[in-house]
Amino acid sequence: MARIQTRKGRKRTTYTATVRMKGFPVLARTFDTKGEAKVWAADIEKEMRAGRYQDARPAEKLTLAAAIERYLENVSSQKRPNSDRRDRIAAKAILEKFGHELSLADVSSQRLASYRDIRMKQVTPSTLQKEFALLSHLFNVARKEWGLPISNPVGEITRPKIKNGRTRFLTTDEAQKLLDAARTSRNKKLYHYLLLMMHTGMRPSEAAGLKWENIDLEARLVKLYVTKTEMRFVPLTQKAVETLQSIIPGDCRGDTPVFLPNDYELAPLLRNRPNLYFRKAFDTVRKQVGLEDVHLHDLRHTAASHLLMAGADLRTLAEILGHKTLQMVHRYTHLLNDHKLKAVDRINSLGVRNHTPSPPQV
């Protein structure tokens, strides 16, 4: 039977649960509430009786701060610059709350739920989701790769939902107006950049960071190495091929940027977010044509929406956009309502007898 000991300090009261069972080491852990202590002790005793108990002391010796530092060094550093930077921002927020002394084993679902409730008053659901994503992956890596007998408490709590309902896309007329204005921009490559995104569905940073070695004009393909997900091939329309051919420099090399200055990598902001090179010029032209509500990323939505309405199936669309699952492309399916109506109209006469009624008998 577990023993719960109450310790009253100057600032707070803590509860230490101690579990003693024959054949196992004596285990003790301190909690902020008596309920947490009882739940932990009951779970440990249950695991011991079932023969499933694993010694959690290695995880208890490792602090959350040390685990995060190891994760950032070995995992985050291998990600894209933007993802690495996002992980470090999330890690800083987590450690500001939990401190540097808390052990990895003591990060419970109750503590995370409390953290969630506090953070929801300070940040958006999207920011909190990024912080929980970091923690969740950290626990999975610790269990699978570091050999720590530890479960993932993030999976036991309810996370805030993110509303990704914005699917603004350009009509054919709006796209033409935007491109016409882009032709007059001081940024001589803005037109080509915007058209390429409209015709490929690439992310703004993917398109802006292209180098000529990524492009095979003969095969009409772009090979994206640096993406948000995995490497993928993006097909080019004939118009996209023509616009790229029009800007090939005479002294073109494989590592020559397609849209950016040759020395752009010397600027940290452009190296991490190459699409910033077009921000000012894009803001100018969208205001000129009264499309202030349009963002650069909406050109990706535009490509996806028009592909779908032109008959592309969801799986093909997901592959072109670089989505691992079909869930993300389902946001565009509301555009198919008219197509669905036309489809069901084809079976309108199913089961209906077409005959002319006989005239009444006189």
Give the angle subtended at the CA of 164 by the CAs of 163 and 168, to the nearest 5°: 135
Give residue-wise pLDDT tens across range 288-314. Answer: 999 999 999 999 989 988 888 888 888
Query: Would the pTM of this model clear 0.85, i.e. be above it?
Result: no
**Among the residues of the chain, which ranges form H helices?**
34-50, 57-61, 64-74, 81-98, 109-119, 125-144, 172-183, 190-200, 204-208, 238-245, 268-272, 279-288, 298-309, 314-321, 337-345
Who has greater pLDDT, 14 or 329?
Answer: 14
pLDDT at 8 over 80: yes
Q: At a CB cut-off of 8 Å and minimum separation 6, what does 30 contact?
A: 7, 14, 15, 16, 17, 37
The whole-angstrom distance between residue 141's C-alpha and the CA centroid of its chain comes to 19
Who has greater pLDDT, 203 or 231?
Answer: 203
pLDDT at 356 over 60: no
> What is the model's pLDDT at position 193?
96
Give residue-wise pLDDT tens across range 84-133. Answer: 888 999 999 999 999 888 888 889 999 999 999 999 999 988 899 999 99
Q: At a CB cut-off of 8 Å and minimum separation 6, what does 256 contact?
A: 211, 212, 249, 262
pLDDT at 360 over 80: no
Can you tell me whether residue 280 is helix, strand or coil? helix
Which pairs count as long-range contacts for 258-267, CB under 8 Å and 24+ apart, including other chains?
Answer: 258/210, 258/211, 258/212, 258/214, 258/215, 259/189, 259/192, 259/193, 259/207, 259/208, 259/210, 260/208, 260/209
In the block, tokens 């292209």 appear at 210
Q: Tell me the HSE value of 70 on the side-chain side, using a 13 A CA sphere.
A: 14
> What is the model's pLDDT at position 355?
53
Q: At a CB cut-off of 8 Å and minimum separation 6, what does 126 contact?
A: 162
> What is the model's pLDDT at position 237?
93
